[in-house]
Chains A and B, each alone.
Chain A
Amino acid sequence: MSYLSILLTAILTANFVLSKFLGICPFLGVSKKLNTAMGMSAAVIFVMALSTAVCYPINNYILVPNGLEYLQTIVCILVIAALVQLVEIILKKFMPPLYNALGIYLPLITTNCAVLGVVLLNFTEGYTYLESIVNSVGAGLGFMLAMVIFSGVRSRLESCDVPKFLQGLPIVLIAASIVSLSFMGFTGLVEGILG
């Protein structure tokens, strides 16, 4: 499988939020405004790529050769939590502008199931190191795409006359359903383009 097709599949056809249902909490919670949506997604892309880059060697060179695959979950979640902390401290010290932009989102990502999800899925898919990172970046970009589109939808929703019983979260979920319906149109697209 070429890198491009992995990337496109992760962004469009197998979108993390809209078809794999990973990272729904931030998708519903932080998508009210475009700029927060962008900030959150940027942080997610960054953390996804970084945790894959770190967890992959740990899994393939430490856990698997020693028959410790059953420690995958526990090791990965701890590595991700520690990594997020570390990145935060480094950013705070050396790149304050970036920290100001992403800082508040970073700790929220520790327990985001999309991050742990992408790391674990990379193991089960049997990707190589590079493929894993490409897939993680793609998953992050897909998350961003869904967030950005959905924040647009939600800003329109604000000014709509919604039936009373659907006001609040229900209409947001139904809107999400329609957005995800439109993403289903990408089915087969990647195979169509790349043969």
Chain B
Amino acid sequence: MKKIKEYAAPTVVLFVICIVAAFLLAVTNNVTAPKIEEVNAENEAKSRQVVFADAASFGEEFTNGDGIKLVPALDKDGNTIGHVVVTVEKGYGGDISVMTGVDLEGKVTGVNILSMSETAGLGANASKESFLNQFAGKVFGINVTKDAPNENEIKALTGATITSNAVTKAVNAAIEATGGENNG
């Protein structure tokens, strides 16, 4: 009998603590979850505007034949003037999620990094404008070079070739997804 008591008390206490903890977490989750979603949606909307500055608004998201999600960019009369595509490539430190704006001629209007876990100071520099701005106006088949870039080439980040390649690959994939690879 004594032994049962010896085990029961700690078990009950621990169990109660677990229940209370789980309850508290559930409450916090209910409060923060909508806020987190809101933040994510807001970021995506902001990012769309960055990669496709000419667009007045954006249409309904749809999925193309390859399962890639596209969002049409609309001018102020509601005509489609291009697409915004999110593509994911494997970088040095994990997946890099890249948002690319592509116009109807298959030209890149802008590139933005949505998320990545590249090394700070090297690969993480990919989110800098000086790197991303290189993509504007490029067409399908962009190459990466370590020297002075020629036509349709971008200069790799110092010490982060893998990241540069991954971002470029993602942008090329985005152009392909809009069917713009034949227009180059």
Contact = CB atoms under 8 A, between A and B. Distances in A.
Interface of A: 1, 13-14, 70-71, 74, 124-126, 187-188, 191
Q: Is the interface of B mostly helix, strand, loop or mixed?
A: helix
Q: Is the interface of A mostly helix, strand, loop or mixed?
A: helix
B79 interface: no
Interface residues of B, number: 12
A70 B90 contact: no
B94 A125 contact: yes
A74 B21 contact: yes
B25 A74 contact: yes
B59 interface: no
18 contacts: A1-B90, A13-B92, A14-B93, A70-B25, A70-B28, A70-B29, A71-B22, A71-B25, A74-B22, A74-B25, A124-B94, A125-B94, A126-B95, A187-B92, A187-B162, A188-B161, A188-B162, A191-B162
Contacts of B28: 70
Contacts of B21: 74
A191 B92 CA distance: 9
Contacts of B161: 188
A14 B32 CA distance: 33
Closest 4 CB pairs of A and B: A70-B29, A70-B25, A125-B94, A188-B162
A13 B22 CA distance: 38
A52 to B, nearest CB: 17
Nearest to B160: A187
Nearest to A70: B29
Contacts of A1: 90
Contacts of B90: 1
A187 B90 CA distance: 15
A74 B20 CA distance: 13
A54 to B, nearest CB: 18
A42 to B, nearest CB: 27
A1 B88 CA distance: 14
Contacts of B22: 71, 74
Nearest to B93: A14
A14 B28 CA distance: 34
Contacts of A74: 21-22, 25
Given A1-B90, A125-B94, A126-B95, 15 more contacts: A13-B92, A14-B93, A70-B25, A70-B28, A70-B29, A71-B22, A74-B21, A74-B22, A74-B25, A124-B94, A125-B95, A187-B162, A188-B161, A188-B162, A191-B162
Contacts of B93: 14
Interface in B92-113: 92-95
A32 B149 CA distance: 50
A61 B110 CA distance: 39
Interface string B14-46: 000000011001001100000000000000000
